[in-house]
Structures are given as C-alpha cells and as structure tokens.
C-alpha cells in the first residue's frame, strides 16, 4: 500500500499551470489555421484545398469558420504558400443565439461546477481529449470542476459528436433531466457543424438542431486545454474566442 | 343494568341473530348482516370485556351441570380472559365492517349465507373459549372454534390448494387439541376438579415428570394454534388460503387462542419451580421468530408473507412468555410481570397491525386480483389510502417508533437484557442467544417490509392487472383507518396501557410491576407520593412531568429504576418521540416550504439513462430484492434445483437459460418428513397384521379376550 | 499456440489443389498468388460446406462479409484469412434480387452472426436459418423494409421515424421466476461511449448480458459512396479517432493496390513507426482505463501521465495528437528528420521504462489482481468460434496478428514477437497489453535507428477504377477496409470491418455469470470502442 503512496509522491506535480499561466510545453495543441491575407499565392487554391468548407475568401483575404475545421492540414501542407498557422488553445467561444451575458452561469458556480458528458456519436478522439481533463496533467478538480455520472446533478453538459439518429432521444432526455440553470458546451467540429459526417440520414449537422448550445469548442479534436478554456468561459473566468468568420477587416479595427 | 353479564348475553344473542339472518336473508344482503350484526356484537363484547378489564368486576355464570359427578359448566371472565376478549372485539369490529365491502366479490361463486353463519358462530365460539371457566366447556368451545375455523378457511372450496390447506389445518389442530386436552386432563387428575380456578390446587403435589408432561403437552398442543415452530406448518398455508377478512381474523384472533391456552395453563395454573420450561418456551419463541421472518423474506405472495410474519410475531410473544417463566422460577417476580406485560402487549399490538395488514392486502386483492408481489407495483398512485394504511401497519410491525410494535418489542428486549440479574450462566447464555436472534429478526423484518411495500406500491406496475386497480370504497378504507389509529394510539400512549395490562398480569405472578415500569411522575396521580422526591426532581428537569396538570394518569415516560449506582436501567417515551417527530418534520416542512415558495417546482420523469422507455421488466422484482437473504441463509433454505437448462439454437445462439428452484420449509424437512416416515413405517409394520386370512383375525380376537381376562384377574 | 493443428499444408497452393479435388465442377477458383489471394465462386448450395471447410479444416479466420447492391443483383464477398503462407480466400456470391436469400453460415462460423444481421438490417437481404434477424443496426423506431445501404436510398436527408410499437420488448434470455433486467445506458458512467446493456439477473449474480449497440451509427459506409477518395480518407481517419492512423493506413493501402502503387521504403518505415506509436499510446490508455475501473487511483494516474506524454510527443513530431492528416494514398503527407525520429525513440524508451515499473508494481498488488484474475473469462474455443481478434484474442490463446499473418508496410523486415496468453481472463488481457506495448517500443527504436532515406510519397492521384482489400493490425485488432472505386476516382463502395465490431460480438461471453460490480472491469479489459464498432 505504501509503495503506491511513495510512487505518487515521487512522481511529483505534473499539472499544467493554465489558467494562471500559459502552458509552454510542446504538443499540447495541434494549432489551427489563421485567417489571413495571402501574398504571393492564390487564395482560391488554398480555399479549394479545404475539404469541409471551413475556408472562404474575398479577394486575397481568407476567413476561417472554425466550426468546420477538422485539422486535416491540407491548407498547410503541400502548398507553396500555405495558410498561416496559429498555435494556442484558447478556442472556446460563446455561440448562443441570445446575446446576453445572462447565458453564462453566475458567480456561484465559478468554483463549483458539475459536468455531465454525453456522447452524441463522437469518434473517440474527442472522448479521449475530454477524458484527459480529469487526469493529472490537466486536473480540473483544482479549478472546482467535477464530473458527475448523472444529469440530475449537472450544471454543464458537454456534448461531442454529430448527434446520430439513434441518440437524438437520449441526448434530449439527458438535457431535460438537468435542473436549471444548465448550459451546454458543444465539443468538437462534429458537434458544431456535423464534421465530416455532416447532415445525413444517420447523423445531424451539429447538436444545435436538438438542444440549445451555449459554448462551442472547435477542433478535431479540441485539445484538453481548449476544453478547459470552454469550461472557464462557461463560468466567466475567461473571455471568449471567436468561432465564426474572422474577416481581416474586422481584425484591423481592433 | 350496566353489568358485564348483560352485554355478554347481548353479544351471544346478537351472534345467534346473525346466524339466523345470514341463513334467511338473500345472499346479497349478507355482507350487510356481517357489517351490521357482527359489529354490534363486537361492540357489546367490547363493552363487556372493557368493563371487566378496567374495573375487574366479578363475572361468573353457571350454566349447567351435565352429569352429577362432573361439576358445573361455568363461564368466568377474569382480567386475563377479558383482555383477550377485548382484543377479539377490537379486531372483529373493523373486520366485520370491512366485510361489507369485501364479501360481494364472492357473490355468485360461493355461498355467502353459510359464510355469514359460520362467521358469527366462530365469533361466539372464540369468545366462549376465552370465557370458559371449566375444562369441559373450554374443550367444547375450542373444538367448535377449530371446526368453524376450518369451515371458513375452506370457503373457496373449489381450489385445490385451499382444501389441502384446510385439511392440514384441521389435522394439525386436532392433534394439538388432543395433546392439550391430555395435558389438561392430567391437571384435572392431579387436582380432582374441573373448574379452572380449582385446578390451581393440584400442581402442588405433582411430580417433576408430571409437571413436565403437562407443560410440554399443553405448550406444544396450544402452540399449534399459536403457530409456533415446529408445529406451525399449517399456518403459512391456511391463513392465505382463507378469504381476506377471515385471514385477518385468523391471524388477529385465533392465534391468540393458542397464547391464551399457554398462558392459562403454564402461567396461571401451573407454577414454575424450575427454569427449564421457561427456557424451552424462550428457545421455541426465538426459533419461531427467526424462521418465520426468514421465510417471510423469500416469500413473494403477499398473504403468505404476512402469514409467515404471524409466526414471527407469535415467536416474539412467546419469547416474552418464556422470559417471564424463567424469571418466575428464579424468583424475580417483578421482572417476570414485566415480561408478561410485554408479551400480552405484543399480542394486542400484533392483532391490531396484523389485521390491518391483512385487510389492506385483501383490499388490493379485491381490485387487482393478484397476490404475487412480483406482479404488482405502482399501486400507490391508484390506491393511496390503502397504501398509506398498509405502510402504517408495516411500520408498526417492524417496530419503529412511535407505533405500537416498537413499544412491545422494545419492552421484550429490555426484559431479555434483565437476564443480568440471573445467577445461572447457562440461562444467561440462552437469554443472550435469544436476544441476538430477536435482533436479527427485527432487522430481517424491516428488509421484508421494505421489499413488500416498495415492490407492491411503489415503482411501476409489472402486470396488466395493475391497471385495473382502484381505491377501495369507504367501507373498506374506514376500518383500516380505525386500526391504524389504534396502532398509533397504543404506541403513543403506552403509559396508559401498561397499568391496565399490569392489572391483567398481577394475579398470575402475584406482584405488581407498574411502578417498576411507569413511575407516577404526574403529581395528580394518586401514587405520586410513592416516588422519592429527589428522583422526581431529577426527572422534572428532563421534562418527565410535562403535562401533569392537563393529562390524567401516571406519566408519559416508561422507566425502570435500578439500584443506587444505576438509577435508570431503561427509559423511553414514545409520547415525547411523537411530539418531537411532529415538531421536527413539521418544522422542516414549513422551513422548506417557506424557503422554496418563490421557486418553481418542475416535475420530470425519472432519469433512466436515456432509454426510450423504462419497461417494468427493467425494475427490481421482489425475488431479486430478497435474493441476498436467500443466499446468506442458504443452509436453512436448502433450495433444490428443479431446472437449470441452457437452450441453444444451432450451437451458439443461446435462446433461453432456464433456472428453477424448489424449496421445502425447514420445519417440513426436519420435523414432518421424519415424523411422516416414522408413522408410515409404523403403519406398514402394523399393516402386516392384515394378512387377509380369517383365521388370523379370529386368532387376534381370541388373544385379545385372553389378555382382558388376565388383566381382570390381576387387578 | 492453438491446440488444434493449423493446416500449414503448403499454404495457398495446397488449398487450390484441395479445392479442385473436393469440388471438381461446382467451384471456380481464381488464384492471385502474387497477392497471396485466392478467389472462389461457388453456388449458394455449397456455401455453407465450403465456408465450414475453410474455417474448421483449413484453419482460416473469418474476417467479415462485404455486400454490394448492384441494382439487379447482390454481390457478396466472404473474406477469410490465415497465417503467413495461407494468404486470403475470398468467397464470392452473386444473388439475383428476385430470390434474395442465402443460407446462413452462422451456426458453423459464429463470427458471421453479426455480419449477417447487419446485412439483413441495412440491405434487406435475409439469411435462411439465422434465428435472430432484425433489430440490430436500425433500432425499433425505423420502419421495416427501409434499408439504407440499398442503392436507391438517399443518404443525404434525415429519415422520418414512425411510432414505436408499445408492445415492443427487448429480447430476453433468462427465464426464471423473478428474473429482471438492469438497464445500463445509453448515457451512463463518467466518460463512457453511448451503448445500451441489459443485465439479466435474478438478484445476485448477473446471468447474462444483452447489449444493444449502434447508437453511434453514422452510416459511414453509405455516406462514403460517391465521395472522392481524399474525402473518404477523412472519413477513414475520423470515424474512430482513437485508432485513426491504423484505419487510414488500411484505407490507403487499399487505394494503393487499386492504383498499383508501391510506397517508397522510407514511407513504409515511417508508417510502421507511426502505427506503433499509435499502438503504444492506445495500449497505455487502455491500461489506464483498466486501473481506473478497479479504482487504483495512483496506477491510473501513472498510466495517464504516460498517455498524455505520448500524445504530446505525437503532436510535437507530427502536428496532431492523434496522428490525423498523415496518411495519404501513396505514402505520407509529411516527412520528419532522422534526428526528430531518434529523439522520439529515445523518449519512448524512457517512457517504456516507467511503464515497465508500473507493470511490476501492479504485478505485486494483490488487491488489484483479485479484481482481474478469473474475471471475464473467454476460453480459447469461444474465441475461435467468435473469431475474436486483437489483444483480447491473444489473451485467450489465439496468436494471430495481421502484422505477421498478412505483412504490410515493412513488418516482414523487423523483428517482433506476438505475445500470447492462455487464461483469457482480465489479467491475461492486461499482460498482453503490456507485452504489446513493449514490442511497440522496440519496433519504434528499430525503425528510428535504421530508417532508409528517400521520399515518403509516391503520388497516387488520380485513382483509377478497381477494387481492393486493405488491412492493418489496429491497436484493438485486425481491421479490413474494402474499397471499390469508379472511373472518376470516386468511391463506389466502402466496407469497414473493424476489430471492435468483431470483439463486441464476443463481449457477452466474458460478461456471463458475474457479480455486477465487475461489469466496468470486464468492459475496461476488453478496451473496445463503440465508435469503431458502430461506424
């Protein structure tokens, strides 16, 4: 019995310093394409490479719809002038159609949040990244976030996967079983736009068709830090990123 | 005019009237006869016995001297009889009113006229057993009661299991009566008189062997009626086979006859000189309690489960009796009186809540028609009152405060703990074992009723018949309410019941125990002066004198005082508990109500993991719930596997896994099978005499004549 | 390590002779010996006999069933494979749509059971003699007679539902008084994939598990039809993201065979390197899952730390934590420097040492072993009958591994062992995971130290029309991807046979007569993925 305790003590603390500090380690995030203006190359060629329609352009200015980006890297590799790539992981954004700050859970939950994960047909990569948030490197317990196996005690529902046909009812039932106030975080490109599976006879175009979504965490899969960012955003401890088109003109203003 | 005898004869007259009316009036009016006449009869007998219970007036009616040598047939009611009669009336009053709504379901299928007649005769016979003053009328009334019991049990005579149960009941009842009769006759032989009160003179000269014989014969003989192990095989079969209201009568009244017989012979008439008989009684009681509750746990027919509980409860009463007998023999009369008080208190309580439970079960049976708990479920939504009263009965049975079962079972425990005052280590060990057995019984009883109540009334319905359930009519719900109220009353006001019971038991042991149990804290009580002032002052600070100006009686606290070093041996007050419960629960409710008044309440279906529909087969069954008990006590149940097959289609496709199990009751296995085998082999042995040859039979006759002549010569 | 003698009777050549001898006229055999493949066409009446013979006498494993709707007829392909030298045997059937019924082979080869049920649900093609067709992929709300995989079904639109029959009941097997079912899921536990289990019990032990899967059915095979190859590559990677590289590898190999391409040596070695990296990471994750299910918190944390470090290593080298976007038909989309590869190999070695320490500590934790030993046993006979694959099968004594049986990439050139255990219980499966992780670490080291130089990609596009089978030993077991392309380079039929599908079929064997609290442990030792099985 003691050998396990000693082993644990010997291993030391591995947990990331985020959100207090930036996480410097390599490999914590795959990064994502950055909206940009292309110089010396064809914007149309870059946009055509994207298989899910996440890229669009006006002239030489390329905009990115992060809800559709599945990290295939085709806008980065094999091109003479590839798209810019931004590292980082704070990707979560508030997506609710109601534009008030009321959609964020109040202060009472900011250090005491219960999370229920519902699998809406996810492939396994999103699930694996979500599992990491409870493991030593990310450890959301220190932030006051806990995972609960029942929606009755949950404040936040994390959903991944394009809701498949058979899972529409269970996801809906899980949502309705949660007491108020409740917020939904859609994790991954599939949950936001249907991903590569898209709308079809067997799956939907994102969970927003079935339950109201408050926060989206894009990525395929979003790294654990992005998911943590999403949770912190839900309790107003971190600001939102933007999911939608980022026109270069809009960026110039700020 | 207001003499008990008047009401007694009124009772007899009403019973007679009931018989006549039942037979003459058309069948559909029969339930009303039962409700009207029988309940009036119950009222009058309640008055009669109540008067004697409270005032102890003389009640002696000389009937008839059948033969000059035999003595008078006498009816006499002392306080012991009065208590039993009172309980009989208390049970039969609501049950008779219940019958008005219950019996119509048998219209057309069985003869209600005879039912009504038998019912009234049984009522009269039962009371006559209890008030018989001499052996002859006692045995006559006893047989009468047994036979009419059998007739009522056999009411649904088309069903095979009913007739078999009835036959078994009759056979065992006769065997028990025979044993008890022999025991009584031995007593008669020793004393030379027939009247019960005269039998007390006899035992002084009886030898040890004779005393033991009388004890064993009467104990096991009357034990048949009371449902004690090992002679209780008929009870779990017969009580459920009878119609619902008759089951209530059987479990609430007829088993008491057995207890009455045991008490009358062994406590009243036969003084105990050694602890041996008491220990036997104690052990039998503990065994009955344990076996009864174990089989109740694995039983999922509602009425059979309740019948097993009757065995258990009678076991607890017997534990009290046994403890009392031991204390009498070892010279602790006060504790002995306490033990007997506990025993009769428990008997009273049991009659009330068992009648309540059987009546609720009958109410369920009427509308749903299903007795198997595995096929019930969700009835609370459709029969809320029945469910509520069943719950009250269940809470009383598992001895939870502030209901009546708690008081008597708690008193029984405390009496067992008083074994500290005994000197013999062996006796103390037996007491300890029985105490442990009683504790285990109590725990298993809770398990059983959680299962019974939850599976029957809560959750989802498991069969289509449940959809037909409707709340019972008021004539059926009102008796349940009355019985439930009595359960609560006897639980909350034990300090008023115990003095009455004390008066009942004191003539048997010769010592009063009421001061040892209910100290007169109320200054208004006439016995208050007997209380030492220092003691009273201490307890005034603890609130023992609350209400003294308003309430009559001695006090609201049951308390047993000990020596200087240990002033309070045990103390309890269900009255205060009730007040506290009401305050706490009510207060919590009001707090929550006030705090959440602004909030919305949203009702959602239960979270089921997101399945499309939670089906009834996805919920726990009673068998599943009680399986751990079956597994832990496997040595007692010893199930034999009937079926254990795995059917496959085409080698790998498993289509069915069939498991079946059969269990034989431990008493049947260990007592009856051997007895039956012995009897059969003896019969076979004697059967060899029947060779079929006329010469042999002639020789037998000749030998018999010669033997008689020889005996005549010798004498 | 099988008791039954495997018929290595000269492999495929001998097979051809045997077939010619036993069924001289009725069967037509087309050998492709250079591909180690033999194609057999036989009449429907001989189907069961030939299949049983291949399975029982010749020791071939049944991989799966591929069906295609060809408007006027059904084309079926029964896929069998054996060890090195035995190659593959494909049994073809052409059934005209006017008489759509074939005999079922499930009573002889039980591994075909779920394949036949899936075909019946999705295609509407019934198999005679199969006792349990229906209510498999499409749940009870889908109307009868609607079969999504038929050519005339429009996959783009959602399909309206009908009302569920209120009398519908799930299948029950246990008949005992008081038997009931405990439902689990589809939404349950902290981080579980959506699947439904009904545990039949009479109150103490759970007697039988009845799973209901396909809650995560996304119709990948159907939506792939008509998409370009590089779009279907995305589907192949992402339908089971936790073993993305292996699946994309199998798909790419199928496309390369259609195109007749040879991947350059450096490309093959790198693919091996990355596949083993993925396997190592998956096994560490599975070990963490097993420790977590037994609630041994420190061990779970230790394994989780290693898992995250492997994910970060993968991302630092390739740009993605789960190795997405690397495989492409013809090779890899990126190359890495040898220094980077050797650096990663060194780090993997030190991670392996920590994993080895963990293995030793677990070996001496009796409370941990108590929960794994003799729990969830799958016997060798059962594993053979159900055709289990991967670490689950290797723990029950079946030493078959696609890396050795049908070598791909450059597996025939590296030294590797196939670890195998015989007990078939939870602890055996854990030991197999540790051993395979060790093998993966060794392979990574071997490749990093001796990788040849050169290009990593032979451009594959445009892809001609054709059909081919690609395969890989995914971390969970053998996976087969059957691809058929049309003239314009679009995929016409994409069949996915995944190890989780095969192994979930056998899960109920382990989950019989057990105590309820062992259920999560049995699930964790199997380490399967519903996404991979449901597709």
Give whole-number Cα distances, B537 to B523, B540, B549, in Å: 12, 5, 16
A151 to B611: CB separation less than 8 angstroms, yes or no: no
Which alpha helices (H) appear in A133-177, and where do they start and end? 168-177
Per-residue confidence (pLDDT) for residue C469, from 0 to 100: 92
Give the best residue of A150, A159, A168, A177 to mutate against chain B (max B CB count within 10 A): A177
Which tokens belong to B170?
């009759």
Q: Are C194 and A120 inside 8 Å of each other by CB?
A: yes
What's the pLDDT at A248? Answer: 40
| Neighbouring C-beta atoms of residue B425, cutoff 10 Å | 8
Distances (CA, A) of B495 to B498, B520, B574, C508, C517: 6, 10, 9, 62, 50
- Mean pLDDT for the stretch of residues B618-641: 85
What is the tens place of the pLDDT at every residue in B399-413? 998 899 999 999 999
Reported as a single tens digit per residue, the pLDDT across A126-141 is 999 999 999 999 999 9
Give me the percent of chain B exceeding a pLDDT of 70.
98
Helix (H, G, I), strand (E, B) or coil at B414: helix
- Burial of C137 (C-beta count, 10 Å sphere; 0-12/13-18/19+): buried
Beta strand C101-103 with C327-328 is unpaired
The shortest CB-CB distance from C204 to any of B612, B631, B657 is to B631
Give the closest-approach CA distance of C316 to chain B in angstroms. 39
What does the pLDDT read at residue A98? 59
- At B703 the pLDDT is 92
Residues of chain C with C-beta less than 8 angstroms from the C-beta of B661: 177
CB C393 within 8 A of CB C379: no
Nearest by CB: C319 against A70, A73, A147: A73
From the list B298, B321, B177, B312, the residue with the least C-alpha distance to B239 is B312
- Would you call B234 helix, strand, or coil by DSSP? coil
Cβ–Cβ gap C315/A134 under 8 Å: no
The whole-number mean pLDDT for each consecutive block of 10 residues of chain C, a chain of 535 residues, reads 39 77 78 79 85 86 88 88 84 81 86 91 86 83 82 81 75 84 89 92 87 92 90 92 94 91 91 95 96 92 94 93 92 90 93 94 91 91 91 92 88 89 92 94 92 85 87 94 90 93 92 89 93 91
Beta bridge partners of C66: C77
Q: Which residues of A touch B (CB under 8 A)?
A: 150-152, 169-171, 173-174, 176-177, 179-180
DSSP per-residue string spanning C164-226 = PPTT------EE-TT-EEEEE-SS-TTTPPS-EEEEEESSSSEEEEEEE--TT---HHHHHTT
C chain contacts of residue B610, beta-carbon cutoff 8 Å: 185-187, 194
Q: What is the pLDDT of residues B523-542, one digit of tens each?
A: 677 777 777 777 777 777 77
| Mean pLDDT over the full length of chain A | 84
Buried b (16+ CB within 10 A) or exposed e, C417-439: ebbbbebbbbbbbbbbbbbbbbb
* pLDDT band (50, 70, 90) for residue B394: very high
Least confident of A104-113, B126-135, B224-233: A104-113
* CA C143/CA C135 separation, integer angstroms: 10
Q: What angle separates helix C519-526 from helix C426-450, to the nearest 10 degrees?
A: 20
CB contact under 8 A, C155 and A203: no
In terms of Cα–Cα distance, which of B124, B89, B110 is closest to B14? B124
Q: Check if the beta carbon of residue B448 is closer than 8 Å to that of residue B293.
A: yes
- CB-based burial, C23-41: b 16+ in 10 Å, e otherwise: beeebeeebeeeebbbebe
Q: Which residue of A has its CA nearest to B600?
A: A180
Contact between residue C345 and residue C280 where contact means Cβ atoms under 8 Å apart: no
CATH fit for domain C11-113, picks 3.40.50.300, 3.40.50.1100, 3.30.460.80, 3.40.50.150: 3.30.460.80
A82 CB neighbours in chain C (<8 A) are none
Residue B45 Cα, gap to closest chain A Cα (Å): 58
| Residue C281 contacts residue C472 (beta carbons within 8 Å) | no
Provide the chain A residues 88-147 that lie in CB contact (below 8 A) with chain C.
117-132, 134-137, 147
Can you tell me the ipTM of this complex?
0.90
Structural domains for chain A? 32-86 (3.30.70), 93-234 (3.40.50.12280)
Considering only residues 365 to 404 of chain C, which have any Cβ-Cβ distance to chain A shorter than 8 Å?
365
Q: Which chains touch B (3 or more CB pairs under 8 A)?
A: A, C
Tokens of C219: 């119709």
Q: Are B571 and B557 in contact (CB under 8 A)?
A: yes
Mutation choice for A interface testing from C160, C320, C343, C527 by most A CBs within 10 A? C320
> Inter-chain contact C241–A119, Cβ cutoff 8 Å?
no
List the single range of A149-163, B264-278, B553-567, B583-597 with lowest mean pLDDT: B553-567
* pLDDT confidence of residue A100: 52
Q: Under an 8 A CB cutoff, do A174 and B612 touch? A: no
Q: Which of A118, A159, A173 to mutate to test the interface with B (most CBs of B within 10 A)?
A: A173
Contacts 24+ apart (CB under 8 A), C484-488: C484/C68, C485/C229, C485/C255, C485/C258
CB atoms closer than 10 angstroms to residue B639: 13
B402: preceding bond cis by omega (within 30 degrees): yes
CA distance C480 to C494: 10
Neighbours of A69 (CB within 10 A): 24
pLDDT (tens digit per residue) in A19-34: 888 888 888 899 888 8
More confident residue, B221 or A37: B221
Of B619, B623, B649, nearest to C202 by CB-CB distance is B623
Query: Any CB–CB contact under 8 A between A167 and chain C?
Result: yes
Beta pairing partners, A56: A63
Interatomic CA distance for residues B470 and B486, integer angstroms: 25
DSSP 8-state secondary structure symbol assigned to residue A37? E
In DSSP notation, B173-201 reads HHHHHHHHHHHHHHHHHHH---BGGGGGG
* C-alpha–C-alpha distance, residues A189 and A169, integer Å: 21
The C-alpha of B600 sits at a distance from chain A's nearest C-alpha, in angstroms, of 10
The SS3 of residue A56 is: strand
Which residues from chain C sit within 8 angstroms of residue B611, using beta carbons?
A: 183, 185-186, 196
- Distance set, CA B358 to CA B237, B303, B526, C182, C414 (Å): 15, 7, 41, 32, 80
CATH class of C220-534: mainly alpha
Identify the pLDDT of residue C1. Answer: 32
Whether residue C182 and residue B654 make contact (CB cut-off 8 A), yes or no, is no
Range name among B234-243, B482-491, C521-530 with the lowest pLDDT average: B234-243
Residue B481 CB neighbour total at 10 angstroms: 16
Q: Where are the domains of chain C?
A: 11-113, 220-534
Q: Are C180 and C199 in contact (CB under 8 A)?
A: no
Which tokens in the block code for residue C443?
């392979």
The answer to whether residues C257 and C269 touch, using CB atoms and an 8 Å cutoff, is no
User: What's the pLDDT at A244?
Assistant: 62
Angle between helices B79-102 and B112-131 (to 10 degrees): 170
Query: Are B643 and B658 a contacting pair, CB within 8 Å?
Result: yes
**Contact state of A170 with B611 under an 8 Å Cβ cutoff:** yes
Q: Highest mean pLDDT: which of B2-6, B32-36, B232-236, C212-216?
A: C212-216
């Amino acid at each position: 019995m003691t050998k396990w305790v000693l082993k644990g003590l010997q291993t030391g603390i591995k947990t990331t310093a985020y959100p207090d500090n930036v996480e410097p380690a390599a490999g914590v995030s795959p990064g994502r394409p950055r909206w940009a203006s292309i110089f010396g190359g064809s914007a149309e060629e870059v946009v055509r490479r994207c298989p899910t329609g996440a890229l669009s352009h006006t002239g030489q200015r390329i905009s990115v719809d992060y809800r559709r980006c599945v990290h295939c890297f085709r806008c980065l590799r094999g091109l003479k002038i590839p798209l810019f790539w931004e590292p980082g992981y704070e990707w979560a954004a508030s997506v609710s159609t109601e534009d008030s700050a009321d959609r964020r859970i109040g202060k009472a939950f900011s250090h005491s949040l219960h999370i229920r994960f519902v699998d809406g047909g996810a492939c396994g990569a999103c699930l694996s990244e979500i599992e990491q948030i409870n493991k030593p490197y990310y450890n959301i317990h220190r932030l006051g976030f806990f995972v609960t196996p029942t929606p009755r005690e949950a404040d936040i529902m994390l959903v991944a996967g394009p809701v498949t046909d058979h899972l529409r009812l269970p996801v809906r039932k899980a949502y309705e079983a949660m007491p108020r106030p409740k917020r939904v975080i859609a994790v991954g490109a599939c949950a936001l736009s249907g991903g590569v599976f898209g709308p079809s006879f067997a799956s939907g175009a994102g969970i927003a068709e079935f339950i109201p979504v408050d926060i989206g965490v894009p990525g395929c899969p979003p790294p654990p830090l992005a998911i943590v960012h999403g949770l912190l955003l839900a309790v107003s401890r971190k600001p939102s990123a933007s999911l939608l088109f980022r026109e270069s003109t809009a960026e110039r203003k700020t | 005019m207001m003499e008990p005898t008047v009401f007694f004869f009124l009772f007899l007259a009403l019973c007679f009237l009931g018989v006549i009316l039942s037979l003459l009036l058309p069948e559909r009016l029969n339930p009303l006869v039962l409700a009207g006449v029988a309940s009036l009869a119950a009222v009058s007998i309640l008055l009669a016995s109540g008067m004697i219970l409270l005032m102890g007036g003389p009640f002696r009616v000389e009937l008839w001297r059948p033969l000059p040598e035999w003595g008078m047939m006498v009816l006499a009611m002392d306080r012991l009889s009065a208590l039993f009669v009172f309980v009989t009336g208390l049970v039969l009053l609501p049950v008779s009113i219940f019958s008005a709504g219950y019996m119509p379901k048998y219209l057309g299928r069985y003869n209600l006229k005879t039912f009504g007649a038998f019912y009234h005769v049984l009522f009269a016979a039962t009371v006559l057993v209890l008030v018989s003053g001499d052996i002859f009328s006692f045995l006559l009334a006893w047989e009468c009661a047994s036979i009419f019991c059998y007739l009522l049990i056999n009411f649904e005579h088309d069903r095979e299991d009913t007739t078999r149960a009835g036959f078994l009941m009759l056979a065992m009842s006769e065997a028990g009566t025979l044993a008890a009769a022999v025991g009584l006759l031995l007593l008669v032989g020793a004393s030379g008189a027939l009247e019960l009160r005269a039998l007390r003179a006899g035992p002084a000269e009886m030898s040890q062997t004779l005393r033991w014989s009388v004890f064993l014969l009467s104990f096991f003989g009357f034990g048949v009626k009371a449902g004690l192990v090992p002679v209780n095989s008929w009870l779990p079969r017969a009580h459920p086979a009878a119609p619902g209201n008759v089951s209530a009568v059987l479990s609430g009244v007829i088993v008491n006859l057995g207890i009455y017989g045991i008490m009358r012979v062994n406590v009243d008439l036969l003084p105990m000189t050694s602890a041996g008989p008491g220990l036997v009684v104690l052990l039998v009681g503990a065994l009955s309690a344990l076996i009864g509750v174990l089989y109740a746990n694995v039983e999922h027919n509602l009425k059979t489960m309740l019948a097993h509980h009757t065995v258990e409860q009678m076991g607890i009463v017997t534990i009290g009796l046994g403890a009392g007998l031991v204390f009498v023999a070892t010279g602790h009369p006060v504790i002995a009186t306490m033990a007997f008080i506990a025993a009769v208190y428990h008997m009273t309580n049991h009659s009330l809540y068992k009648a309540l439970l059987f009546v609720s079960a009958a109410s369920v049976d009427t509308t749903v028609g299903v007795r198997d708990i595995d096929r019930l479920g969700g009835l609370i939504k459709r029969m809320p009152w029945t469910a509520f009263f069943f719950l009250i009965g269940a809470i009383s049975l598992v001895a939870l405060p502030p209901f009546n079962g708690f008081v008597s079972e708690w008193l029984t425990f405390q009496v067992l703990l008083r074994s500290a005052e005994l000197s013999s280590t062996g006796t103390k060990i037996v007491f300890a074992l029985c105490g442990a057995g009683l504790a285990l019984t109590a725990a298993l009883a809770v398990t059983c009723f959680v299962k019974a109540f939850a599976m029957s009334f809560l959750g989802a319905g498991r069969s289509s018949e449940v959809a037909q359930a409707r709340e019972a009519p008021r004539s059926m719900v009102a008796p349940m309410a009355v019985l439930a109220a009595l359960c609560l009353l006897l639980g909350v006001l034990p300090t008023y019941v115990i003095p009455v019971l004390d008066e009942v038991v004191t003539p048997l042991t010769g010592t009063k125990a009421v001061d040892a149990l209910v100290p007169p804290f109320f200054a208004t009580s006439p016995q208050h002066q007997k209380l030492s002032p220092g003691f009273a002052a201490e307890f005034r600070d603890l609130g023992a004198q609350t209400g003294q100006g308003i309430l009559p009686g001695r006090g609201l606290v049951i308390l047993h005082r000990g020596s200087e070093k240990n002033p309070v041996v045990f103390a309890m007050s269900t009255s205060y508990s009730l007040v506290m419960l009401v305050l706490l629960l009510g207060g919590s409710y009001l707090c929550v109500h006030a705090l959440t008044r602004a909030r919305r309440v949203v009702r959602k279906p239960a979270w089921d993991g997101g399945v499309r529909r939670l089906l009834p087969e996805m919920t726990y069954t009673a068998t599943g719930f009680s399986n751990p008990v079956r597994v832990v006590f496997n040595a007692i149940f010893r199930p034999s596997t009937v079926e254990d097959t795995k059917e496959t289609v085409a080698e790998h496709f498993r289509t069915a896994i069939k498991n079946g199990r059969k269990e034989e009751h431990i008493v049947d296995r260990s007592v009856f099978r051997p007895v039956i085998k012995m009897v059969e082999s003896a019969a076979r042995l004697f059967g060899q005499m029947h060779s079929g040859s006329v010469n042999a039979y002639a020789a037998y006759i000749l030998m018999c004549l010669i033997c008689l002549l020889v005996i005549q010569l010798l004498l | 390590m099988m008791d039954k003698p495997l018929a290595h009777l000269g492999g495929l050549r001998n097979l051809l002779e045997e077939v010619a001898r036993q069924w001289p006229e009725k069967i037509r055999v087309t050998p492709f010996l250079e591909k180690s493949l033999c194609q057999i066409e036989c009449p429907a009446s001989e189907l069961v006999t030939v299949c049983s013979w291949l399975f029982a006498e010749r020791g071939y494993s049944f991989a799966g069933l591929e069906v295609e709707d060809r408007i006027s007829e059904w084309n079926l392909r029964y896929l069998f494979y054996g060890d090195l030298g035995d190659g593959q045997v494909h049994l073809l059937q052409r059934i005209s749509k006017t008489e759509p019924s074939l005999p079922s082979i499930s009573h002889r080869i039980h591994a075909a059971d779920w394949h036949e049920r899936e075909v019946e649900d999705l295609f509407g093609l019934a198999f005679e003699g199969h006792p349990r067709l229906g209510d498999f992929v499409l749940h009870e709300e889908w109307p009868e007679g609607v079969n999504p995989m038929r050519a005339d079904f429009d996959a783009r639109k959602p399909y309206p539902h009908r009302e569920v029959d209120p009398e519908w009941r799930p299948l029950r097997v246990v008949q005992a008084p008081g038997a009931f079912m405990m439902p689990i899921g589809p939404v349950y536990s902290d981080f579980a994939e959506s699947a439904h289990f009904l545990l039949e019990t009479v109150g103490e032990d759970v007697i039988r598990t009845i799973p209901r899967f396909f809650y995560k059915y996304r119709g990948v095979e159907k939506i792939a039809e008509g998409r370009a190859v590089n779009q279907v590559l995305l589907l192949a990677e992402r339908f089971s993201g936790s073993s993305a590289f292996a699946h994309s590898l199998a798909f790419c190999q199928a496309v390369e065979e259609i195109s007749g391409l040879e991947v350059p040596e450096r490309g093959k070695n790198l693919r091996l390197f990355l596949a083993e990296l993925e396997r190592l990471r998956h096994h560490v994750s599975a070990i963490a899952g097993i420790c977590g299910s037994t609630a041994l918190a420190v061990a779970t944390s230790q394994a989780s730390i290693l898992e995250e470090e492997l994910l970060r290593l993968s991302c630092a080298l390739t740009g993605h934590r789960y190795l997405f976007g690397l495989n492409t038909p013809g090779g890899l989309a990126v190359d890495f420097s040898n220094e980077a590869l050797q650096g990663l190999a060194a780090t993997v070695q030190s991670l392996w040492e920590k994993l080895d320490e963990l293995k030793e500590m677990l070996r001496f934790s009796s409370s941990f072993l108590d929960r794994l030993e003799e729990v969830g046993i799958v016997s060798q006979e059962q594993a053979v009958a159900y055709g289990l694959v991967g670490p689950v099968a290797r723990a029950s004594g079946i030493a078959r591994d696609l890396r050795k049986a049908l070598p791909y990439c450059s597996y025939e050139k590296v030294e590797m062992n196939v670890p195998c255990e015989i007990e078939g219980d939870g602890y055996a499966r854990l030991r197999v995971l540790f051993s395979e992780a060790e093998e993966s670490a060794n392979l990574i080291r071997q490749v990093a130290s001796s990788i040849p130089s050169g290009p990593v990609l032979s451009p594959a596009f445009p892809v001609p029309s054709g059909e081919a089978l690609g395969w890989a030993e995914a971390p969970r077991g053998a996976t087969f991807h059957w691809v058929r392309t049309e003239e314009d380079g679009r995929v016409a039929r994409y069949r996915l046979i995944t190890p989780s599908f095969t192994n979930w079929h056998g899960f109920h064997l382990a989950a019989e007569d057990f105590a309820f609290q062992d259920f999560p442990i049995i699930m964790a030792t199997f380490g399967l993925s519903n996404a991979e099985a449901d597709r």
